[in-house]
Amino acid sequence: DTEVTQTPKHLVMGMTNKKSLKCEQHMGHRAMYWYKQKAKKPPELMFVYSYEKLSINESVPSRFSPECPNSSLLNLHLHALQPEDSALYLCASSQEGIRQDTNYGYTFGSGTRLTVV
Amino acid sequence: RKEVEQDPGPFNVPEGATVAFNCTYSNSASQSFFWYRQDCRKEPKLLMSVYSSGNEDGRFTAQLNRASQYISLLIRDSKLSDSATYLCVVTPPAVMNTGFQKLVFGTGTRLLVSP
């Protein structure tokens, strides 16, 4: 199993709604990531979990709240979002390691396309 | 200055052409380098890693010049299916020896291959 599965694939939510994005991998990867990609822009890192602990928060507004219930699951809880938060949210996972020239099996999910109305 | 810079294109080429993309990065301590491909409304997928000695995978050749902080991708005999956005990706040094790496993406170069 070499996949990262994200649900839902599409989500439309109002600015007062609370919703969650889910990500699952069964590759034994111990690092999991959330990226945000706006239209015609590259992906930008939001959060990194390493061994189920939050290791990096790239100054993301508190209306985005990540959670890592176990080594296979990563959630992103959304509350009081703004229309400018509409984007493709990508989850990724990788093996751990700091050796050069290796991808560490970095794998992206197909993303959740979020529209905030 | 952006961490990773690319010409956004688009590069419009006919089938069978050879096309080259370039990328520069600002952090001289960057550890690893990759080219990713992203199709419209899809996730990025690893095309190839870029090694200091240069490496080739079929029609694709990647080169790294650490002294100039420059990465290139050459595509020979372009196919219609090569049409996509090509993202140059760099990993800065691992943070606090935590063992994971974040990917820093360039803006991407769009390639359109026409019949």
The pLDDT averaged over each successive group of 10 residues in chain A (117 residues) is 88 95 94 94 94 92 96 96 97 78 80 97
Q: Is B34's Cβ below 8 Å from some Cβ in A?
A: yes
Residue B97's pLDDT is 56
Token match 């370039």: residue? B22
In chain B, which residues have their Cβ closer than 8 Å to the Cβ of A53? none
What's the pLDDT at A19?
Answer: 97
Q: What is the pLDDT of residue A87?
A: 97
Which residues in A lie closer than 8 A to residue B51 (C-beta atoms)?
A: 101
Query: CA–CA separation, A117 vs B55, rounded Å?
Result: 46
Distance from A97 to chain B by nearest Cα, in Å? 4
Question: Count of CB contacts below 8 A, A vs B?
Answer: 70
**pLDDT value at residue B44:** 94
The token duo for B89 is 């990706």
